[in-house]
Amino acid sequence: MYVKICGMTTVEAAKEAAYAGADFIGFVFAPSKRQLTPEKAAAISKEMPSSVKKVGVFVNETKNAIIETAETAGLDVIQLHGDESASFAESLPFPVIKAFRMGKHDTSEIRSYPCHYYLIDSPKGPNRGGNGTTFDWTRLADAGLDPRKTILAGGLNPVNVQSAISIAKPAGVDVSSGVETDGAKDLKKINQFINNAKMKG
């Protein structure tokens, strides 16, 4: 089970995620309370072991800006959270995670999109992602998507992640606000989430 901890803003939280066994950490470069500069992301990336892939989250950004940010921040993967076309994704010289909101896209559209992973998020909330709300996980299990390419997001936390995995059967899970306390990453919750997702505790 792959685990992605998104919305990283501190070296301390990223190190905790890496220590606990996270596979991906995410940096938000789109407008958000968790947005950070490429330079700040680079400082965190330098502290990460090579086993942890660094993901940059972008919303309707230009190709040149994405590549420039990726090179500065030391990114391994690009996550597209906007209205980016299939041809745009194919043009990027990085592996791509494409975010889709459950029920907002036809499954054939999702399946045909050229990406390494589909990140399936909740359709609820005002933002493109990071709304911290769940959806009926059986809908993902029944969607006919390749489970080896599917990452489940939306409202996950240390308490519900095992149930979500058993129902939706994704390849990975993504969390941000679910491992925070008062808007900041909580080291204990990061550890609990990763252990529970990977069934280590």
- CA–chain centroid gap for 169, Å, is 16
Question: Which DSSP string corresponds to 104-132?
Answer: TS-HHHHHHS--SEEEEE-S-SSSSS---
Burial class (CB in 10 A: 0-12, 13-18, 19+), 21: middle
Query: Please, are residues 143 and 113 in contact by the beta-carbon 8 Å criterion?
Result: no
| Token reading at 180 | 């925070």
| Token reading at 59 | 């919303």
Active site residues: 6, 121
